[in-house]
Chains A and B, each alone.
Chain A
Amino acid sequence: MTRLTVNGKRLELDADPSMPLLWVLREELRLTGTRFGCGMSLCGACTIHLDGEAVRSCVTPLSAAEGRHVTTIEGLSPGVSSAVQRAWIAEEVPQCGYCQSGQIMCAAVLLREKPQPSDADIDDAMSGNLCRCGTYQRIRKAIHRAAKDIAGEKA
């Protein structure tokens, strides 16, 4: 039995503890917003938060989440109300959309750790999240926009 909190809900799961968290989320909990892209931690489509850190759920076993807090894209905000998601809409970031859950989860951690990231900070944090539609330029812009919005809210 693995005890963990997913999007604020405490759960006890009897799934195989070696099962990647991605499949626990998708198949056991039906949280399908976290995507499978490669299964080898190479594309970032499966990025989630584990105790607030961005991790690749495709290579993170369920056992690693014992006693910890998991947040998925579904738990990031009600609707698409987070500053990151609003910026993504304002900058018209998504095309096919498949990688964007992972991009957003990764960007949310970056903005918490570096509220005013430089282009280099953004590239450094985001370079592991692949987007074949090539939306990187817009992601950079959207992160800057979200940073401004968050700073404005706090001011």
Chain B
Amino acid sequence: MAHVVGTSARRKEGPEKLSGHARYVDDYRIPGCLHGVTVRAPIARGRILGIARDPAFDWDGVVIATAEDIPGPNVVTLIEPDQPLLAAGEVRHAQEPVALVAHADRSRAYQAAAHLKVEYESLQPVIDPAQSEQVFKSFLIERGDVVAGLAAGDLVVEGTYTVPHQEHAYIENNAAAAWFEADGTLVVLASMQCPYYVHKALKPLFDLPAHKVRIVQAVTGGGFGGKEEYPNMIAGHAALLAKKAGRPVKIVYDRHEDMLATTKRHPARIRHRTAVKRDGTLVAQDVDVLMDGGAYLTLSPVVLSRGTLHATGPYDCPNVRIRSRVVATHTPPNGAFRGFGAPQTLFAAELHMERIAEAIGADPVALRRKNLVREGSTLAVGQVLRESVGALQALDECAKRSGFRDKRREYARWNWRKDQPTWKGIGLAVVHHGSGFTGSGETHLASRAAVALTREGAIVVLAASTEFGQGTNTMFSQVTADTLGLPYDWITVETPDTSKVPDSGPTVASRTCMVVGRLVRQAALDLKAALVAEHGRVPHTRAHLREAALTLCGDAAERRFEREYEKPSGMAWDDATYRGDAYEAYSYAAVAVDLEIDKATWEVTVHRVTSVQDIGTTVNPLLAEGQVIGGTAQALGYALLESPVYKDGVMLNAQLTNYVIPTSLDTPEMDVAFVPAPYSNGPFGAKGVGELPMDGPPPAVAAAVHDATGLWITDLPILPERLARAERERKAPRNRK
């Protein structure tokens, strides 16, 4: 049997996505369905004095729901019970949902929402995180003695870096439909990443037992973290309206509402002080991280955790201190976004390495080579990296493929000539990204996944892990096929539906392949063992498999083999001290960005990105490359284009006219390569890939901009006006005025 792991087996759901037949939420025709619309607060902070219906409006057929209609506690369950499903009494951020309306006619529902008059008393909001007095979460991670270390180097390099909000801009906006079955079961069909998160949130809201809540994933038009926790909210709203109306209700956001109201990447300010020897040896790293969590805690502690654990970059330094905190502001809650805190802190860490290289006159590749983690290295949390550390190989391959050193010389000559219309530059960065939940997170999740053989001889993978473009279904099928030694086409993957699949945890944190893929492999091994025990071997024809299925299933419709997460042996983590093995394994990437800047307009054109990664065994090279080119495109947007503008806690450019995401013109050719350092506990040696490509490009862009212009742009995004301002300030520094 030919092996399918390591080949580019075609995407399972590919054809239906190209024929128009894939069904996203709004493509379902649900008989009797009403359209729901959300009434949102226009102010960032205040009190709700009253909600009244405009007497001049025709309210016939309109259903209205407020906080008083919620059967259970008015809380969207996630980490802390602080966020209401509908604001009651107080408003903590602009666009906070206050009431819901529904009508059979979509336009009529929008009109009704506009005629529901909510009276507010405004209060002074806290918008600047530096002014916030409410800390959601803080961490302190120390290794060695940072104070002594800072005094022991030849010099200390300091820097402050900031990164803004980032909007997910999935092309399918958030959407959910909900209805109650005759037996009282609440059913939700939604665009989402985490069916069991929605399940957990809706049970208490509607005071229902687990078996009376059924959550089904529709085909999902992009998530990138934006559909990790927010679906809890929109599903809760649709369900509340459905309960009030006694009919199904669908809520589909338009672009403006989705951009105004739903989560964004956490903005952050990161400060570095690094002691270094003249030969490039890192002696001490002192890092301070401040993130803006927005109005409610949501996932902020976990985002901060990952940001903190990646804050030093992938380096082995004997003296480290990382202090971090995420605070509350009266702005819409920030949440999960591909990379989950790491792109923020790695931008700072890797651009800071460039400034260290300049300060000591070192070659940036050599400086990194000297300090990069390798097998046997120790991280700030005390984790010793025992295996699967491909950082150096990635860096060397990236420097070679991109022609980094030759390009630096070539561009220096180009930039030296004053008559050229442009500057050219090349910059690079090396990053790491932990696969799976942090520390004991996977143990607490206790994920389960299964492989079933049905009486008809079908082999079905059962997991709540969702497909929203990454290739979940394809990867599960490849792993199962090779474990059983059967053809890829024989494997099917069940729709994530909480009434059918076990809770394999959320589809986040670059965990689906390494963690859930391993469970699927273990379950498939159990099925294989059962087939071998019964028949001496795994049947290799459909007819034999059907015969075997009848014996194995007995009277049941299927025989299911389920596995639960077990912590790999030797892994230890202490939640109290926050020390130990922070992640089972890390993926690594080295990224080089080659760009050109117009001297007249300051427009930055990226010509080429070279991205080399160690993600362990590459289960599906074409899908993995797809993740890399897609994540890189988003990262280039974060670095160069995406500039959310806020006033008084309200996003002013909540539309695609002036919140600019990369188009085909902004997305250069990318050279993507893999240098696998297989991980012994990953399925066939695989680690995570989804988030890693978001981490490296922004600091590589900033390094290339410096190479081109000599300007350090330490704040994202690197817009032309920011470059022009930096150049003005270089020519006429403020302190000389």
Among A34, A35, A140, chain B packs the most CB atoms within 10 A around the CB of A35
Mostly helix, strand, loop or mixed at chain A's interface?
Answer: loop
Q: A95-B626, A134-B634, A135-B630 are in contact. Are A80 and B18 (CB under 8 A)?
A: yes
A-chain residues with CB within 8 Å of residue B219 when the two chains form the complex: 97
- Closest B residue to A19 by beta carbon equals B107
Q: A98-110 vs B: 1/0 string, CB under 8 Å? A: 1111001000000
* Residue from A38, A93, A97, A123 within 8 A of B655 (CB atoms): A38
A-chain residues with CB within 8 Å of residue B14 when the two chains form the complex: 88-89, 92, 94
B-chain residues with CB within 8 Å of residue A127 when the two chains form the complex: 663-665
Q: Does A31 contact B (CB under 8 A)?
A: yes
Q: Give bound CA distance, A73 to B617, whole Å.
A: 37
- Closest B residue to A128 by beta carbon equals B663
Q: Does B376 contact A (CB under 8 A)?
A: no
Q: Smallest distance from the beta carbon of B422 to chain A beta carbons, Å?
A: 19
Q: Give bound CA distance, A100 to B252, whole Å.
A: 20
Q: Give bound CA distance, A42 to B8, whole Å.
A: 33
Q: A80-B18, A132-B634 are in contact. Are A96 and B662 (CB under 8 A)?
A: no
Pair A38/B626 contact, Cβ less than 8 Å: no
Pair A92/B26 contact, Cβ less than 8 Å: no
Q: A32-B23, A132-B168, A134-B630 are in contact. Are A95 and B470 (CB under 8 A)?
A: yes
Q: Does B171 contact A (CB under 8 A)?
A: yes
- Closest B residue to A94 by beta carbon equals B17
Q: Does B90 contact A (CB under 8 A)?
A: no
Pair A96/B170 contact, Cβ less than 8 Å: yes
Q: Give bound CA distance, A37 to B20, whole Å.
A: 15
- Closest A residue to B167 by beta carbon equals A132
Q: Give bound CA distance, A116 to B335, whole Å.
A: 44
Taking CB atoms and an 8 Å cut-off, the chain B residues in 11-41 that contact chain A are 11, 13-15, 17-24, 26-27, 29
Pair B222/A94 contact, Cβ less than 8 Å: no
Pair B20/A137 contact, Cβ less than 8 Å: no
Q: Give bound CA distance, A130 to B170, whole Å.
A: 10
* Residue from B8, B27, B633 within 8 A of A136 (CB atoms): B633
Q: Smallest distance from the beta carbon of B488 to chain A beta carbons, Å?
A: 14
Q: Does A115 contact B (CB under 8 A)?
A: no
Q: Does A126 contact B (CB under 8 A)?
A: yes
Q: A126-B664, A127-B663, A134-B633 are in contact. Are A74 and B623 (CB under 8 A)?
A: no
Taking CB atoms and an 8 Å cut-off, the chain B residues in 161-177 that contact chain A are 168-173
A-chain residues with CB within 8 Å of residue B221 when the two chains form the complex: 35, 96-99
Q: A92-B623, A98-B172, A134-B631 are in contact. Are A104 and B18 (CB under 8 A)?
A: yes
A-chain residues with CB within 8 Å of residue B18 when the two chains form the complex: 80, 85, 88-89, 93-94, 97, 100, 104
Q: Does B622 contact A (CB under 8 A)?
A: yes
Pair A43/B26 contact, Cβ less than 8 Å: no
Pair A35/B630 contact, Cβ less than 8 Å: no
Among B17, B172, B669, chain A packs the most CB atoms within 10 A around the CB of B17
B-chain residues with CB within 8 Å of residue A104 when the two chains form the complex: 18
Pair A89/B22 contact, Cβ less than 8 Å: no
* Residue from A26, A40, A43, A134 within 8 A of B632 (CB atoms): A134
Q: A33-B20, A79-B19, A127-B664 are in contact. List 18 more A-B contacts (CB 8 A).
A: A32-B23, A33-B19, A38-B254, A38-B656, A74-B19, A74-B20, A80-B18, A80-B19, A88-B14, A94-B17, A96-B171, A96-B469, A97-B18, A98-B170, A99-B171, A100-B17, A133-B469, A134-B630
Interface of A toward B, CB cutoff 8 Å = 26, 30-40, 42-43, 45, 72-74, 79-80, 85, 88-89, 92-101, 104, 122-123, 126-140
Interface of B toward A, CB cutoff 8 Å = 8, 10-11, 13-15, 17-24, 26-27, 29, 168-173, 219-224, 252, 254-255, 468-471, 622-623, 626, 629-634, 655-657, 661-665, 667, 669-670
Between-chain CB contacts (< 8 Å), 13 pairs: A32-B20, A38-B656, A40-B655, A85-B18, A92-B14, A96-B469, A98-B171, A100-B18, A132-B170, A134-B629, A134-B632, A136-B633, A136-B664
